[in-house]
């Protein structure tokens, strides 16, 4: 008996693996777009837009080209967001450095923990801004969503630990973090993508 033609491309590992491969490719693109550091929010925004478009049936044709177009569109505002974030992180790092060279301060560990939390909050906030970006809405303050922000903070923490342990994981982590950001954003809007649905939609 012949199998019906569904228009989907099957693989020996199933559609979940093909989605993973697509996210891995998007992560490579995000890492490449973040090489100038200040451009990482624009690269993340383009990565989130690519995740929304991807389907779990293997690499989509034109992903790199469309990512580049989104990266260029997100760059003007994204560079400003990235610069502001780097300034905030630099200020926090300087505070920690000053506290470290000041000598044996009481409760230094608590200060370091607070500064690390503040730095993480800056990164999470910018990732949420990137996930909410589109060519029409541009850069704006993300919607209030404490539970979603907490979940994304966990994803950022795990990603940071993975990259700290092995820097070569950075491209993979960038793609997975974009997927997590889109999932959190879709959860807020009530659109919950399953493995057979497109986590896509327009950017």
* Interior angle at CA 139, CA 137 and CA 143, nearest 5: 80
pLDDT digits (tens, 9 = 90+) for 12-31: 445 566 777 888 899 999 99
pLDDT of residue 190: 59
What is the mean predicted confidence (pLDDT) over 139-164?
Answer: 90
Domain extent listing, the chain: 15-189
Reported residue count of the chain is 203
**Can you tell me the mean pLDDT for 94-119?**
84
Predicted model pTM: 0.79
- Residues 6 or more apart whose CB falls under 8 angstroms from that of 80 comprise 139
Residue 194: pLDDT band with limits 50, 70, 90: very low
């Amino acid at each position: 008996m012949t199998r019906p033609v569904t228009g989907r491309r099957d693989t020996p590992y199933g559609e979940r693996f093909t989605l993973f491969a697509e996210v891995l490719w998007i992560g490579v693109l995000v890492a490449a777009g973040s090489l100038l550091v200040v451009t990482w929010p624009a690269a993340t925004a383009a990565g989130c837009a690519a995740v929304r478009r991807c389907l779990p049936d293997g690499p989509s044709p034109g992903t790199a080209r469309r990512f580049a177009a989104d990266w260029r569109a997100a760059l003007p505002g994204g560079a400003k967001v990235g610069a502001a974030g780097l300034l905030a992180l630099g200020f926090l790092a300087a505070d920690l450095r000053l506290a470290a060279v000041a000598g044996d301060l009481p409760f230094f560990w608590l200060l370091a923990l607070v500064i690390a939390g503040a730095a993480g909050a800056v990164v999470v906030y910018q990732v949420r801004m990137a996930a909410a970006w589109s060519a029409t809405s541009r850069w704006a303050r993300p919607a209030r969503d404490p539970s979603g922000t907490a979940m994304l903070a966990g994803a950022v923490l795990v990603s940071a630990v993975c990259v700290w342990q092995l820097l070569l994981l950075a491209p993979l982590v960038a793609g997975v973090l974009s997927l997590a950001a889109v999932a959190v954003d879709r959860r807020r809007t009530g659109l919950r993508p399953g493995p057979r649905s497109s986590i896509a939609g327009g950017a």
